[in-house]
Amino acid sequence: MDFYQRAGIVCGAIPRGTVASYGQIALLCGKPKNARQVGYALNKGRLGEEVPAHRVVNSRGLLSGAAAFDTFDMQKNLLAGEGVEVLWTREGWQVDRKRYGWKHTMQDAEKFRALFEELGI
């Protein structure tokens, strides 16, 4: 359960108008091999209702969480509403992670680690 608490905190910190990958969230939680667990938690609503799940995409920038939203295009529409350009590709709806990816810093990672320690998670 601690991992889900950590992931909820990290996801909540993704800035508006940017996206992060499942792997990036897992890395910032201190569990770099748990990208699938991030996806599972988002899909099952284990990170809380206020988490901006629409800002999480796969490593190639593909919107792969449609099943977790009320409509198939909700994630795309929420991102577009934040100014994130979402384009249709052969593989599906995609975001340019170079342009819209969350570029967290080492200071961000250190702040998360300190917060997790403070919270005992």
pLDDT in tens, 65-113: 777 788 889 999 999 999 999 999 999 999 999 999 999 999 999 999 9
For the chain, what is the mean pLDDT?
Answer: 95
Burial class (CB in 10 A: 0-12, 13-18, 19+), 5: middle
What domains sit in the chain, N to C, each tagged with a CATH number?
2-119 (1.10.10.10)
Which pLDDT belongs to residue 121? 96
Q: How many CB atoms lie within 10 A of CB 103?
A: 10
Which pLDDT belongs to residue 1? 67
Is the model more confident about 65 or about 51? 51
